[in-house]
């Protein structure tokens, strides 16, 4: 009897695994005329098949990238181009028409009516994630946007490539603020962002700054010398101590039935002596601890639910393009606040970020915005296949022949706008809004 084992496999997986070991023999060609501030910038934009590009980057950036964010094709049908290495009929005709390279590689779109629909997507994603893992620092992280259609498959291949023990979170992003009442079953209002670390045990996420609502919980009604505070319970759900404590004003307190004391007698006495126990304005309320803002952590731990009012929504993403006169020429961009949230959590001010499905380069804008806010010097590498814009599209009508032309122009305009919006800020003249352009040789 054949021995059975648990594994996730599909047709073509073995070839995808072998692809990881094949080095690219292509070269990157510098394109000065498309670059911006090339003499001073440390940012890079690369046009070409991202698998080939990642293999080239691996030679010089092995273990150097702190964070990767990607928004890959969601595999909804006709939404990505991939190399189909299976030889088909009329091959010579396809080479003549430009649909197939002379090496027999056929570039085609992935359609839902194909038998290899999920397989094609997995074969496209697997080697890229395998290669890009090599680029991460030991404490580096990757964030991957995806929807319900492929999130299960994506998590399985990420568990295999990065290790199930290095899974950090499945963040739920609320991408819409309205309900679609014409939906047949549920209004689809969320996307997923899977987060993995290269070595989870040594990763320390940055904390998020407190928002106005969180800060409003602190006040100082008794003018305490330590400043603003908020009342927090003296009891906890677990423990062993249920004894009574007598405060110096004569009040006796014990934890409610089913709970336990959070602090021992020595700590309670210290708080009582320092006027750090709150009995209410009339001094008749249940005692609670004064938790001072100056003594808590400088920020809050992130949660796995990212609402639109904190990180933006689809409509906001389109408005960002509208502000730089690029509205209507790119489908389904991400809001820069969403990616800026991930960068805030994962990087320090000098780190390198890569997006190898760059699209309209929202990641580049997010990096520049965050650098402008905290005087950082984060660098980015954007990678994008120059997919042609359909002739009937608004982008083509506006003069953009492929997605790379859109991404480069968006980055130029976004950088200029960030400079303009922060022109009065000290040191803003040092903000790197440039990028060098390289193209993968044909």
Query: Is the confidence at residue 322, as pLDDT, over 60?
Result: yes
pLDDT of residue 442: 72
pLDDT of residue 80: 53
pLDDT of residue 397: 85
Confidence of residue 76 (pLDDT cuts 50, 70, 90): low
State which residues form the domain around 361: 44-77+112-207+301-440
Q: Assess whether 316 and 181 both reside in one domain.
A: yes
57 part of a folded domain: yes
Q: Assess whether 60 and 188 both reside in one domain.
A: yes
233-242, 275-284, 317-326, 359-368 — which one is most confidently predicted on average? 359-368
Please write the tens of the pLDDT for every residue from 359-407: 899 999 999 999 999 999 999 999 999 988 888 888 888 888 899 999 9
CA distance 162 to 393: 38
Confidence of residue 128 (pLDDT cuts 50, 70, 90): very high
Q: Assess whether 52 and 184 both reside in one domain.
A: yes
Q: Assess whether 424 and 334 both reside in one domain.
A: yes
Report how many domains make up the chain. Answer: 2
Q: Assess whether 156 and 195 both reside in one domain.
A: yes
Confidence of residue 98 (pLDDT cuts 50, 70, 90): very low
Q: Assess whether 134 and 224 both reside in one domain.
A: no
If one compares 139 and 93, the residue with the highest pLDDT of the two is 139
31 part of a folded domain: no
Choose one of 253, 268, 295: the last residue of a domain.
Answer: 295
Choose one of 247, 262, 295: the last residue of a domain.
Answer: 295
Confidence of residue 184 (pLDDT cuts 50, 70, 90): confident
No. of helices (H) and no. of strands (E), the chain: 13, 19
Please write the tens of the pLDDT for every residue from 8-48: 887 888 888 898 998 998 999 999 999 999 999 999 999 99
Choose one of 273, 295, 317: the last residue of a domain.
Answer: 295
pLDDT of residue 106: 55
272 part of a folded domain: yes
Q: Assess whether 291 and 385 both reside in one domain.
A: no
Give me 351's structure tokens. Answer: 């780190």
83 part of a folded domain: no
Q: Assess whether 310 and 348 both reside in one domain.
A: yes
Please write the tens of the pLDDT for every residue from 339-359: 999 999 999 999 999 999 998
Share of the chain above pLDDT 90, in %: 51
429 part of a folded domain: yes
Q: What is the mean pLDDT of residues 173-195?
A: 90
55 part of a folded domain: yes
Q: Assess whether 141 and 69 both reside in one domain.
A: yes
Average pLDDT, the chain: 87
Give me 214's structure tokens. Answer: 């969180």
Share of the chain above pLDDT 70, in %: 90
Q: Assess whether 122 and 267 both reside in one domain.
A: no
DSSP character for 167? E
323 part of a folded domain: yes
Q: Assess whether 232 and 381 both reside in one domain.
A: no
133 part of a folded domain: yes
CATH number at residue 394: 3.40.50.150
């Amino acid at each position: 009897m054949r021995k059975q084992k648990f594994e996730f496999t599909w047709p073509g997986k073995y070839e995808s695994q072998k692809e990881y070991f094949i080095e690219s023999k292509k070269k990157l060609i510098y394109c000065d005329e498309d670059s911006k501030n090339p003499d001073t910038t440390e940012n890079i934009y690369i046009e070409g098949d991202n698998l080939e590009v990642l293999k080239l980057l691996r030679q010089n950036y092995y273990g150097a990238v702190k964070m990767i964010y990607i928004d890959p094709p969601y595999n909804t049908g006709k939404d990505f181009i991939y190399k189909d290495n299976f030889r088909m009929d009329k091959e010579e005709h396809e080479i003549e028409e430009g649909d197939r390279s002379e090496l027999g590689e056929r570039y085609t779109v992935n359609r839902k009516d194909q038998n290899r629909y999920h397989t094609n997507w997995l074969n496209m994603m697997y080697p890229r994630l395998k290669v890009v893992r090599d680029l991460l620092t030991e404490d580096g992280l990757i964030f991957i946007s995806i929807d319900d259609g492929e999130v299960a498959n994506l998590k399985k291949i990420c568990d295999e490539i990065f290790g199930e023990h290095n899974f950090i979170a499945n963040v739920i992003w609320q991408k819409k603020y309205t309900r679609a009442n014409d939906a047949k079953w549920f209004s689809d209002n969320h996307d997923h962002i899977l987060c993995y670390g290269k070595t989870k045990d040594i990763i320390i996420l940055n904390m998020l700054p407190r928002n106005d609502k969180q800060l409003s919980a602190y006040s100082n009604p008794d003018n305490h010398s330590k400043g603003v505070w908020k009342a927090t319970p003296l009891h906890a759900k677990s423990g062993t101590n249920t004894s009574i404590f007598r405060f110096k004003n004569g009040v006796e307190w014990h934890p409610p039935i089913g709970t336990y004391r959070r602090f021992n007698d020595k700590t309670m006495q210290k708080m009582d002596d320092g006027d750090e126990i709150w009995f209410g304005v009339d001094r008749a309320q249940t005692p609670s601890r004064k938790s001072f803002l100056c003594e808590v952590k400088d920020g809050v731990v992130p949660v796995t639910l990212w609402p639109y009012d904190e990180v933006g929504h689809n409509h906001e993403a389109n408005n960002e393009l509208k502000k730089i006169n690029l509205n209507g020429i790119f489908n389904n961009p991400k809001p820069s606040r969403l990616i800026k949230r991930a960068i805030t959590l994962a990087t320090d001010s000098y780190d390198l970020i890569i997006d190898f499905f760059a699209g309209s380069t929202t990641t580049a804008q997010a990096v520049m915005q965050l650098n402008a806010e905290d005087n950082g010097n984060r660098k980015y590498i954007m990678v994008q296949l120059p997919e042609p814009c359909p002739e009937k599209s608004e982008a083509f009508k506006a003069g953009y022949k492929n997605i790379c032309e859109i991404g480069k122009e968006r980055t130029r305009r976004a950088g200029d706008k960030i400079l303009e919006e922060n022109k009065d800020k000290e040191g803003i003249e040092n903000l790197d809004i440039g990028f060098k352009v390289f193209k993968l040789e044909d």
